[in-house]
Amino acid sequence: MSAEPTRTTESTAFRSGLDVIRGIEPRIADAIGAEIEDQRASLKLIASENYASPAVLLAMGNWLSDKYAEGTVGRRFYAGCRNVDTVEAVAAEHARELFGARHAYVQPHSGIDANLVAFWAVLAQRVESPALERAGVRQVNELTDEDWAALRRDLGDQRMLGMSLDAGGHLTHGFRPNISGKMFHQRSYGTDPETGLIDYDALRASAREFRPLIIIAGYSAYPRLVNFRLMREIADEVDATLMVDMAHFAGLVAGKVLTGDFDPVPHAQIVTTTTHKSLRGPRGGMVLCDDSLADQVDRGCPMVLGGPLPHVMAAKAVALAEARQPEFRAYAQRVVDNARALADGLTRRGARLVTGGTDNHLALIDVSGYGLTGRQAEEALLEAGIVTNRNAIPRDPNGAWYTSGIRVGTPALTTRGLTTAEMDEVAELIDTVLSRTSVGTTRSGKPSKAAYALEDGVAKQVAERSADLLAKHPLYPGIDLS
């Protein structure tokens, strides 16, 4: 993380802010204060969470929040946006330079918003624009009723090929209950049953048969690297647009840990991401694209989005500026080193990992080896102060709610400064909890997929060992709210 201001400066800023809030609604001030204490006391292993710097946090709490700014830089639907223009332009500049992208759009409020902008940008380029040209008009509202009906049919008949949720994909990659699964005629690709790895030959065969408009690459729980050069070859072969959702590993791309075939930006026509997770910024989204899609992407508001959030764009600019510093590259490499050390430590203790290990920032534990469901494991670990999330594994017999997996990731603990040797100790703590947890029962005495029983004293023992470990790496040491 970038150089910290003095303890007095940080403490004064946050303590004063909480005092102002407390004067209006003390329960909110108390909840904010309690949250930092909870985070300081927990081993945070949720792969999609991190700790933003004080500068990023402070950039979100200001009067930029008061501005409406629909449109894009220099082309707003509201007056008085010159400062918002500066903020958005700086954030986009940092994004282009950091990722080597031709175009950056920093308005999306979240990852799903970024994906929706990308979906509709591709639809506008590949379906809407030809329809307008055939009709001899420039805008959709100029189409006749007959032309509009035909366009709606064309838009509704488009196909998407994305990674299945249980294989490590994401809800927004075509999961049927999600809007992405409702917008498109969708098909999923999975992983090899034996290795757990993407089978590119099977993916290619599916693409040839299905002929999708969009192929989505990227993941939320796949512990290996994706060959984006191969993905682009497959997409080009079937005249599909390659879209990559790098929300979970954007920090590894920014930190130049993922390069060549494993860097999505040179290979995909359009790339989406969140700005938190491994990128360590505020909660928000972003779209990167080549020149062919830039105009359509910039129509994200009003096409998909409402008013941009200028205060969050300011925080994105700060986080992206931090990610351009040399120390961020070192951080990104440590994230991967720590993930491998954690995976190795778990494996040595007998844990079963999906694909047998990791090449990125996360690992996926098959907790059925401990006789547990993901729900039971998640709750037992939380009781001991270890924060994880349950996650489906390929062909999961317990489905997406109870699951058979626990996803663990290292971005947050790496930000705190934990080392590879300490990750082995974290693996020991995880294994201690899981190996001493058993299946609980319902009131009728039947085994429950949710209930668990952790041996007496284990939670206290693990929490004390965690506290000793975390005491060496204080969180936000420059902030004292007392």
> Of 22, 40, 68, 93, which residue is the catalytic one?
68
Calpha distance 314→84 (Å, rounded)? 9
Calpha distance 123→233 (Å, rounded)? 21
Residues 6+ away with beta carbon under 8 Å from 87: 64, 310, 313, 314, 317
Calpha distance 220→389 (Å, rounded)? 12
- pLDDT for position 5: 52
18 touches 361 (CB < 8 A): no
Angle between helices 7-22 and 26-41 in degrees, nearest 10: 140
Q: Tell the burial category of 19 from Cβ atoms under 10 Å away from its Cβ (0-12, 13-18, 19+).
A: exposed
> 65-323: what fold?
Aspartate Aminotransferase; domain 2 (3.40.640)
Token match 């009003």: residue? Answer: 302
- pLDDT for position 19: 95
Calpha distance 281→276 (Å, rounded)? 4
Q: Is the dihedral of CA 217, 218, 222, 224 positive or negative?
A: positive
CA-based R_g, the chain, Å: 23
Q: Is the pTM of this model over 0.75?
A: yes
pLDDT along the chain (482 residues), means of 10: 62 94 96 95 96 96 94 93 97 98 97 95 92 88 88 88 90 79 88 94 97 96 97 98 97 98 98 97 97 94 91 98 98 98 98 97 97 97 96 93 97 98 97 96 86 95 95 94 87
Angle between helices 200-210 and 228-237 in degrees, nearest 10: 20
Provide the pairing of β-strand 75-76 with 71-72.
antiparallel
Provide the pairing of β-strand 285-289 with 103-105.
antiparallel
> Of 44, 159, 277, 407, which residue is the catalytic one?
277
**Architecture in CATH of 326-471:** Alpha-Beta Complex (3.90)
Calpha distance 159→184 (Å, rounded)? 5
- pLDDT for position 155: 84
- Say if residue 302 is preceded by a cis peptide, omega within 30 of 0: yes
> Of 12, 15, 49, 70, which residue is the catalytic one?
70
> Of 96, 283, 299, 324, which residue is the catalytic one?
283
Q: How many Cβ atoms sit within 10 Å of the Cβ of residue 68?
A: 16
Cα 154 to its chain centre, rounded Å, is 31
> Of 88, 113, 166, 245, which residue is the catalytic one?
245
Same CATH topology for 65-323 and 326-471?
no
Give me the DSSP letters along 258-323: S-GGG-STTT-SEEEEESSGGG-S-S-EEEEE-HHHHHHHTTHHHHT--S--HHHHHHHHHHHHHH
Instruction: Respond yes or no: is residue 452 known to be catalytic.
Output: no
Calpha distance 413→402 (Å, rounded)? 26
Can you give the length of the chain in residues? 482
Residue 294 CB-half CA count within 13 A = 10
Distance of CA 126 to CAs 108, 131, 256, 267, 412, Å?
A: 22, 9, 32, 19, 40
Closest by CA to 145, choosing from 155, 135, 157, 133, is 135
Domain ranges of the chain: 65-323, 326-471
- 66: phi > 0 → left, psi -120 to 50 → alpha, else beta; which? alpha
Angle between helices 420-435 and 326-348 in degrees, nearest 10: 40
- pLDDT for position 199: 95
Closest by CA to 336, choosing from 410, 413, 248, is 410
Instruction: Respond yes or no: is residue 424 known to be catalytic.
Output: no
- pLDDT for position 2: 47
Instruction: Respond yes or no: is residue 245 known to be catalytic.
Output: yes
- pLDDT for position 141: 82
> Of 274, 355, 373, 414, which residue is the catalytic one?
274
Token match 């401990």: residue? Answer: 370
**What DSSP state is assigned to residue 79?**
S
**Token pair of 110 as six digits:** 């979240």
Instruction: Respond yes or no: is residue 274 known to be catalytic.
Output: yes
